[in-house]
Structures are given as C-alpha cells and as structure tokens.
C-alpha cells in the first residue's frame, strides 16, 4: 500500500450505469460521391487545367474519413489532368518537425502508397504579406509554389476562442499552412486577437493566392461526416461563418448542465487541439469554466496517435503515472511556444494509477452532496458521447431526459493489482 492508498482509502468509488445518448445521426453515406458532387461547384475543380500542380492540405486531427476524403480529392484532381500532392498542414504539431508531421499523416492512412500521390513535408514557409500590425503572413513553401491549392479542413467550434470563424478553412490556411513560424505570428498577440487575426491573415492569403479553394468538412455528434462543401476562394470569408454555425448545431454535448466530476479514459491531440475538447468538458485555459461545470477532471491515459503530445492536459486536475510515462516534452512544448499559451501544457497532479486518480478527484471535490453521492460522468474521450457511464447519483437526472437511455447497471468498477481499471461487474 502506497501513501496515497492510505490517505485516500475512505474515498470509495461509486457504482456506475452505462447510458446511451441519442443525437442526430444523419450523415454522408457515400464519401467519394459526396466529394465529387461538392467539387462540381463553379470556381473550384473546374479552375484546374491539365498539368497544373495541386497542393492538397491535410491536418493533424482525427477527422472522420480523412483518408477516404483525401484520396477522393486527389482522384478528382487527377481526373481533370491535375497533378496533386499532399502536405501536412498542422502548424507546429509533431514537435515542429517535418518528418514527424508526415508520420502523423501516415497514422491516419495518408501515405504516398495509399493516396497514389507524393506527400511533401517541410517546415519551410514563405512570406506572402504583412498584417496591419506588421506580422508576417506565411504559407508552406510547397503550397506557395503550386499552381493550385485545395485547403481541406474540418469546420468546428474552436477550443480557446470565439469568432465568425474558428477551427476550419481559414485556420487551415493561416495556422496549418503557416507551419510553426506562421502559426506563431497569428498567435503572437494572444487569443484575444485570434478571431480577428485568423480572418485578416486568411483574407491576405486569399488575395495573394486566388488560385485556391477549400473543401469544408462537418461532422455530426457521432464523429461521422455529415456535410462536405466546396467553397471558392472568393466566397470563403463569406460562407465559412454559416458553415461554422451549422457545425455547432451538430456537435455533441454532455446532456447534464452540471455534475461534480468528469472521468476521461484518454486525451490526445488527435481527439482535440486541447486534448479534451473544452466545448465538452467546460474547461478552457483561455475561455475559463462553463457548463457542465465539473469541479474536478481526472484523465487516465494518452492516445498513441498523440505521439507523446499532452497539450491541453493542464485543464485536468489529476492524471496517472501511465499517462505521464508517455509524455514527450519535445512533441508538446513547441505547441505552447507557438500558441503563446503555457497553461495548456502544464501538468496536473500525477497519481500512481487509475484508482488513486479517481480517489483524488473524489477527495478534492468539496462541493458535493455526499448524502446523494458524487455526480460523475465517465467518457472514453470527448469525441465519444453516444455511450458513456454515469454514477448512481446521476441516475435520476438521466431518467428525466428523453434522449438518454440507461443500458445496464449498477456496475462495480474492477481494478487490477496495479490499480488500473480492468472493467465492470
């Protein structure tokens, strides 16, 4: 027994119910066909001429069907005689290292072999223009040299700023293609300026590079592709805000306004830029605390696709040694340097195992109704809200919701000899 077992012995892990959370499930059935249909729009694919080199961007997030979508875009470009190639467009991710960024794409199935086109990775950028504040506006050197650029990006609510555009097409142009140096220029004045900067920088890139268009991807609450829209360069600033509003209407949310504790099995940069999406957890290092107002957040593991990048973990209160042993500072700290946001790359309390981390959260959540019991939501990750677990104290609340069904329980949590979760009985 370690000292934490002794100090936390009285904090008993409650029983849990598994629940099913029903949300709008409509989605795109035939991805390649939807890509082809979107690219029928005037001033998109029809602008590419035989022999044109075409740069197709691909980011670092775990975007639904990203390999199928990217391959479909490349195939459509080839069909009109273009010569497509792919670049990693992910700012400073993978330790601001070109080969690391190429490796992230490979993890999503995007390689030269699977896509049938070259993948060109570089951290070198070129200056296109300057902002009104004198900041350099840069894009990837391969993108700048191409005859055409297709920015492919998922449109969704950003984790740390609000504005007419957040995560999506403009951010892909500015942050993704800007690589480490370009991304830092946009972040240099802090998140208070991000919404304005992203639009200003994107506008300058579009003005200098009218030989581009975008493919905006939107996902439903089940992490499925539900909309694919091609947007001509001249329409990006006008149309992306409306696409963002639609994306926000389809995003998942925890169906409780308030609870005491959140357990999260895994965090990771592939899941969200903040590891755990603050739009789900209610915790942002920049925007502060919002619904569902958890007193404590415990995170147990880091995804393999994060490659050791623990960015966003600073929003949690406690984690495990298992997660800490996967941490790679060289993969993570370039993000903190680039975003000028050190809070997101801080480490929370580190407990020896899952059980101690849970008990720590229980012990330090002081504003609970202990007669009723702790109100806990337990997620796999912040992309997985269709099924999750709730503690017994939340059962009554769940039974009042039309879109939440209790599937099984109550269930006891079972731990192995090392204190890691084995499952439920």
- Alpha-carbon distance 370 to 381, whole Å? 27
Would you state the pLDDT for residue 370? 86
Which of these, 325, 168, 361, lies nearest to 246 by C-alpha position? 168
Number of residues assigned to the chain:
425
Would you state the pLDDT for residue 103? 93
Would you state the pLDDT for residue 185? 81
Cβ–Cβ < 8 Å for 216, 125: no
- Alpha-carbon distance 165 to 202, whole Å? 10
Would you state the pLDDT for residue 183? 81
Four-point Cα dihedral 157, 334, 330, 55, nearest 10: 70
Q: How does DSSP classify residue 176?
A: I
Residue 38 vs residues 144, 167, 228, 271, 329: alpha-carbon distances, Å: 24, 20, 7, 26, 41
Would you state the pLDDT for residue 362? 97
Residue 11 vs residues 263, 356, 374: alpha-carbon distances, Å: 15, 9, 11
Would you state the pLDDT for residue 52? 98
Would you state the pLDDT for residue 69? 98
Would you state the pLDDT for residue 390? 98
Would you state the pLDDT for residue 186? 78
Listed as ranges, residues in the chain with pLDDT below 70 are none
**Model confidence, pTM:** 0.85
- Alpha-carbon distance 18 to 406, whole Å? 6
- Alpha-carbon distance 151 to 65, whole Å? 16
Would you state the pLDDT for residue 359? 98
Would you state the pLDDT for residue 191? 78
Would you state the pLDDT for residue 344? 81
Would you state the pLDDT for residue 121? 95
């Amino acid at each position: 027994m370690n000292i934490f077992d002794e100090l936390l012995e009285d904090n008993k892990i409650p029983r849990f119910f598994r629940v099913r959370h029903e949300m709008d499930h409509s989605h795109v059935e035939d991805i390649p066909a939807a890509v082809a249909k979107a690219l029928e729009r005037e001033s998109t694919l029809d602008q590419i001429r035989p022999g044109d080199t075409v740069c197709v961007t691909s980011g670092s997030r775990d975007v639904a069907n990203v390999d199928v979508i990217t391959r479909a875009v490349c195939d459509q470009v080839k069909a009109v005689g273009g010569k497509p190639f792919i670049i990693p467009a992910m700012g400073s991710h993978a330790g601001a290292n070109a080969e690391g960024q190429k490796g992230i794409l490979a993890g999503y199935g995007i390689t030269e072999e699977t896509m049938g086109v070259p993948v060109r990775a570089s951290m070198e950028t070129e200056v296109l223009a300057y902002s009104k504040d004198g900041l350099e506006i840069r894009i990837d050197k391969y993108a700048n040299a191409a005859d055409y650029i297709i920015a492919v990006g998922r449109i969704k609510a950003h984790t740390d700023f609000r504005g007419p555009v957040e995560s999506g097409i403009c951010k892909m142009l500015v942050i993704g293609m800007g690589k480490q140096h370009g991304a830092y220029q946009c972040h240099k004045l802090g998140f208070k300026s991000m919404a304005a900067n992203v639009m200003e920088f994107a506008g300058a890139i579009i003005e200098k590079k009218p030989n581009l268009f975008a493919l905006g991807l939107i996902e439903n609450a089940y992490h499925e592709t539900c909309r694919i829209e091609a947007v001509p360069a001249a329409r990006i600033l006008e149309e992306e805000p409306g696409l963002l509003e639609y994306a926000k209407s389809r995003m998942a949310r925890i169906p409780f306004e308030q609870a005491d504790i959140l357990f999260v099995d895994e965090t990771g940069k592939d899941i969200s830029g903040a590891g755990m999406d603050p739009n789900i957890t209610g915790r942002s290092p920049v925007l502060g605390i919002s619904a569902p107002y958890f007193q404590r957040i415990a995170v147990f593991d880091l995804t393999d696709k994060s490659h050791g990048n623990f960015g966003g973990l600073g929003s949690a209160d406690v984690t495990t040694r298992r997660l800490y042993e996967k941490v790679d500072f060289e993969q993570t700290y370039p993000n903190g340097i680039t975003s000028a946001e050190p809070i997101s790359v801080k480490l929370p309390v580190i407990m020896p195992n899952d059980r101690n981390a849970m008990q720590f959260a229980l012990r330090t959540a002081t504003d609970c109704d202990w007669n009723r019991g702790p109100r806990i939501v337990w997620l796999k990750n912040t992309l997985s809200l269709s099924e999750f677990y709730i503690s017994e104290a939340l059962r009554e609340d769940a039974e009042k919701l039309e879109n939440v069904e209790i599937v099984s329980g109550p269930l006891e949590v079972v731990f192995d000899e090392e204190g890691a979760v084995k499952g439920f009985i």
